[in-house]
Amino acid sequence: MERPILFDTPMVRAILEGRKTVTRRVIRPQPEGRLIRMPANSCYPGCFAIEGTPRVIRPPCQPGDILWVRETWDRLLTSPGGHFRPSGVYYYRADGDIRPDQHKSKAWHPSIHMPREAARLFLRVTMVRAERLREMVLADVLMEGVQEAGAYEDTWDLWHQTWDRTIRPADRPIYGWAANPWVWVISFERVDRPEPSA
Protein backbone atom coordinates (compact mmCIF):
# COMPACT_ATOMS: atom_id res chain seq x y z
CA MET A 1 0.00 0.00 0.00
CA GLU A 2 1.14 3.55 -0.67
CA ARG A 3 0.32 6.57 1.49
CA PRO A 4 1.68 10.07 2.23
CA ILE A 5 3.60 11.06 5.34
CA LEU A 6 4.46 14.58 6.53
CA PHE A 7 7.94 15.66 7.60
CA ASP A 8 9.15 19.11 8.58
CA THR A 9 12.15 20.64 6.82
CA PRO A 10 14.88 19.60 9.33
CA MET A 11 13.68 15.99 9.20
CA VAL A 12 13.58 16.00 5.38
CA ARG A 13 17.20 17.15 5.42
CA ALA A 14 18.04 14.32 7.82
CA ILE A 15 16.44 11.79 5.43
CA LEU A 16 18.32 13.25 2.46
CA GLU A 17 21.59 12.99 4.40
CA GLY A 18 20.88 9.39 5.40
CA ARG A 19 20.72 10.22 9.14
CA LYS A 20 17.01 9.53 9.64
CA THR A 21 15.76 5.97 9.26
CA VAL A 22 13.00 5.96 11.90
CA THR A 23 10.02 8.13 12.75
CA ARG A 24 7.76 8.09 15.79
CA ARG A 25 4.09 9.03 15.48
CA VAL A 26 1.70 9.58 18.38
CA ILE A 27 -1.06 7.00 18.76
CA ARG A 28 -4.38 8.87 18.78
CA PRO A 29 -6.28 8.36 20.95
CA GLN A 30 -3.92 6.99 23.55
CA PRO A 31 -4.62 3.34 24.48
CA GLU A 32 -5.91 2.56 27.96
CA GLY A 33 -3.37 -0.23 28.47
CA ARG A 34 -0.15 -1.80 27.19
CA LEU A 35 -0.05 -2.66 23.48
CA ILE A 36 0.66 -6.26 22.50
CA ARG A 37 1.45 -7.28 18.92
CA MET A 38 -1.02 -9.79 17.51
CA PRO A 39 0.62 -12.95 16.09
CA ALA A 40 0.72 -13.52 12.34
CA ASN A 41 -1.74 -16.41 12.60
CA SER A 42 -4.32 -14.38 14.54
CA CYS A 43 -7.54 -12.86 13.24
CA TYR A 44 -5.80 -9.44 13.25
CA PRO A 45 -2.25 -9.90 11.91
CA GLY A 46 -0.22 -6.71 12.00
CA CYS A 47 -2.47 -5.20 14.67
CA PHE A 48 -1.98 -4.62 18.38
CA ALA A 49 -4.26 -5.67 21.22
CA ILE A 50 -4.79 -3.30 24.14
CA GLU A 51 -4.08 -5.29 27.28
CA GLY A 52 -7.04 -5.58 29.64
CA THR A 53 -9.56 -4.56 26.97
CA PRO A 54 -11.24 -6.27 23.99
CA ARG A 55 -9.91 -3.55 21.68
CA VAL A 56 -7.46 -4.05 18.81
CA ILE A 57 -5.82 -1.19 16.91
CA ARG A 58 -4.08 -1.10 13.55
CA PRO A 59 -0.85 0.86 12.96
CA PRO A 60 -0.92 3.57 10.26
CA CYS A 61 1.26 1.39 8.00
CA GLN A 62 2.70 -2.10 7.67
CA PRO A 63 6.12 -3.47 6.60
CA GLY A 64 6.36 -3.26 2.82
CA ASP A 65 4.13 -0.17 2.53
CA ILE A 66 5.54 2.77 0.59
CA LEU A 67 5.38 6.23 2.16
CA TRP A 68 5.77 9.27 -0.08
CA VAL A 69 7.09 12.28 1.76
CA ARG A 70 5.15 15.50 1.84
CA GLU A 71 7.52 18.41 2.46
CA THR A 72 7.46 22.21 2.10
CA TRP A 73 7.62 22.91 -1.63
CA ASP A 74 7.06 25.32 -4.50
CA ARG A 75 6.46 24.98 -8.22
CA LEU A 76 8.05 27.01 -10.99
CA LEU A 77 5.58 27.48 -13.81
CA THR A 78 7.80 29.69 -15.97
CA SER A 79 11.52 29.76 -16.54
CA PRO A 80 13.59 32.78 -15.43
CA GLY A 81 13.35 34.05 -19.02
CA GLY A 82 9.57 33.99 -18.87
CA HIS A 83 9.03 30.92 -21.04
CA PHE A 84 6.22 28.65 -19.91
CA ARG A 85 7.17 25.18 -18.71
CA PRO A 86 3.99 23.11 -18.80
CA SER A 87 5.37 20.24 -16.73
CA GLY A 88 6.58 22.58 -14.00
CA VAL A 89 9.78 22.38 -11.98
CA TYR A 90 9.61 21.72 -8.25
CA TYR A 91 11.65 23.37 -5.51
CA TYR A 92 11.96 22.16 -1.93
CA ARG A 93 12.52 24.17 1.23
CA ALA A 94 14.90 21.49 2.53
CA ASP A 95 17.30 22.41 -0.30
CA GLY A 96 17.50 26.01 0.94
CA ASP A 97 15.70 29.22 0.06
CA ILE A 98 17.16 29.49 -3.45
CA ARG A 99 14.42 30.05 -6.01
CA PRO A 100 14.12 32.05 -9.22
CA ASP A 101 13.88 35.84 -8.83
CA GLN A 102 10.16 35.96 -9.55
CA HIS A 103 9.51 33.58 -6.64
CA LYS A 104 11.38 35.51 -3.94
CA SER A 105 8.26 37.21 -2.62
CA LYS A 106 6.08 34.12 -2.93
CA ALA A 107 5.37 31.97 0.12
CA TRP A 108 6.32 28.32 0.18
CA HIS A 109 3.48 25.80 -0.11
CA PRO A 110 2.85 23.88 3.14
CA SER A 111 3.74 20.21 3.06
CA ILE A 112 0.11 19.19 3.66
CA HIS A 113 -0.76 20.53 0.19
CA MET A 114 1.98 18.70 -1.71
CA PRO A 115 0.61 16.48 -4.50
CA ARG A 116 2.17 13.08 -5.06
CA GLU A 117 3.55 14.16 -8.44
CA ALA A 118 5.80 16.64 -6.61
CA ALA A 119 7.18 14.02 -4.19
CA ARG A 120 10.85 13.15 -4.51
CA LEU A 121 11.30 10.96 -1.43
CA PHE A 122 9.79 7.48 -1.18
CA LEU A 123 10.29 5.27 1.88
CA ARG A 124 9.63 1.55 2.29
CA VAL A 125 8.44 0.58 5.78
CA THR A 126 10.67 -2.14 7.23
CA MET A 127 9.24 -2.44 10.75
CA VAL A 128 6.42 -1.08 12.92
CA ARG A 129 6.21 -1.44 16.67
CA ALA A 130 4.54 0.34 19.60
CA GLU A 131 6.30 1.71 22.67
CA ARG A 132 6.27 4.52 25.18
CA LEU A 133 8.11 7.56 23.87
CA ARG A 134 10.53 7.74 26.78
CA GLU A 135 11.68 4.14 26.31
CA MET A 136 14.13 5.56 23.78
CA VAL A 137 17.90 5.31 24.18
CA LEU A 138 20.54 7.52 22.57
CA ALA A 139 20.88 5.23 19.52
CA ASP A 140 17.14 5.72 18.87
CA VAL A 141 17.54 9.49 19.01
CA LEU A 142 20.34 9.36 16.43
CA MET A 143 18.27 7.13 14.11
CA GLU A 144 15.55 9.82 14.35
CA GLY A 145 17.99 12.13 12.57
CA VAL A 146 19.05 14.25 15.55
CA GLN A 147 22.74 15.08 15.35
CA GLU A 148 24.88 14.68 18.44
CA ALA A 149 25.18 18.07 20.11
CA GLY A 150 28.35 17.70 22.12
CA ALA A 151 27.43 16.41 25.56
CA TYR A 152 25.01 13.51 26.02
CA GLU A 153 22.53 15.75 27.83
CA ASP A 154 22.64 18.32 25.00
CA THR A 155 21.64 15.69 22.44
CA TRP A 156 18.70 14.60 24.60
CA ASP A 157 17.61 18.21 25.12
CA LEU A 158 17.71 18.74 21.36
CA TRP A 159 15.52 15.67 20.83
CA HIS A 160 13.01 16.75 23.49
CA GLN A 161 12.72 20.14 21.78
CA THR A 162 12.43 18.50 18.35
CA TRP A 163 9.62 16.23 19.56
CA ASP A 164 7.67 18.97 21.34
CA ARG A 165 8.02 21.24 18.29
CA THR A 166 5.91 18.73 16.33
CA ILE A 167 3.12 18.74 18.94
CA ARG A 168 0.60 21.58 19.20
CA PRO A 169 1.05 23.45 22.51
CA ALA A 170 -2.51 22.56 23.58
CA ASP A 171 -1.76 18.84 23.00
CA ARG A 172 1.57 18.70 24.85
CA PRO A 173 0.04 17.67 28.20
CA ILE A 174 -1.12 14.45 26.44
CA TYR A 175 1.38 13.94 23.61
CA GLY A 176 4.48 15.94 24.62
CA TRP A 177 7.78 14.45 25.79
CA ALA A 178 6.90 14.89 29.47
CA ALA A 179 3.61 12.99 28.99
CA ASN A 180 5.44 9.89 27.73
CA PRO A 181 2.72 8.89 25.25
CA TRP A 182 2.40 5.63 23.35
CA VAL A 183 3.85 6.01 19.85
CA TRP A 184 4.18 4.03 16.66
CA VAL A 185 7.86 3.45 15.84
CA ILE A 186 8.20 3.19 12.06
CA SER A 187 11.53 2.14 10.53
CA PHE A 188 12.08 2.74 6.82
CA GLU A 189 14.55 2.73 3.95
CA ARG A 190 14.69 5.02 0.94
CA VAL A 191 13.59 3.54 -2.39
CA ASP A 192 13.23 4.79 -5.95
CA ARG A 193 9.95 6.32 -7.08
CA PRO A 194 7.56 3.40 -7.62
CA GLU A 195 6.18 2.79 -11.07
CA PRO A 196 2.55 3.95 -11.34
CA SER A 197 0.12 1.10 -10.79
CA ALA A 198 -1.89 0.00 -13.81
Q: How far is CA 147 from CA 11, 104, 142, 143, 177, in A?
A: 11, 30, 6, 9, 18
Q: Where are the alpha helices (DSSP H) in 97-151?
A: 138-143
Any residues with CB less than 8 A from the CB of 11 and at least 6 apart, and which? 20, 23, 145
Q: What is the pTM of this model?
A: 0.89
How do residues 69-80 score in pLDDT, each as one tens digit? Answer: 999 998 876 555
Is the model's pLDDT at 133 over the cut of 70? yes
Tell whether the torsion through CA atoms of 69, 75, 80 and 85 is positive or negative.
positive
Residues 64, 135 within the same domain: yes
Identify which has the larger pLDDT, 77 or 125.
Answer: 125
Residues 92, 179 within the same domain: no
Residue 114 lies inside a defined structural domain of this protein: no
Domain region containing 182: 2-69+120-190
How do residues 88-104 score in pLDDT, each as one tens digit? Answer: 688 899 998 665 555 55
CATH number for the domain harbouring residue 10: 2.30.130.30
- The band of 161, judged by pLDDT with boundaries at 50, 70 and 90, is very high
Structural domains of the chain, count = 2
pLDDT of residue 123: 98
Residues 35, 80 within the same domain: no
Residues 177, 149 within the same domain: yes
Residues 79, 177 within the same domain: no
Residues 91, 175 within the same domain: no
- The band of 118, judged by pLDDT with boundaries at 50, 70 and 90, is very high
How do residues 23-49 score in pLDDT, each as one tens digit? Answer: 999 999 999 999 999 998 999 999 999
Residues 59, 80 within the same domain: no
Q: Supply angle C-alpha 8, 12, 15, rounded to 5.
A: 145
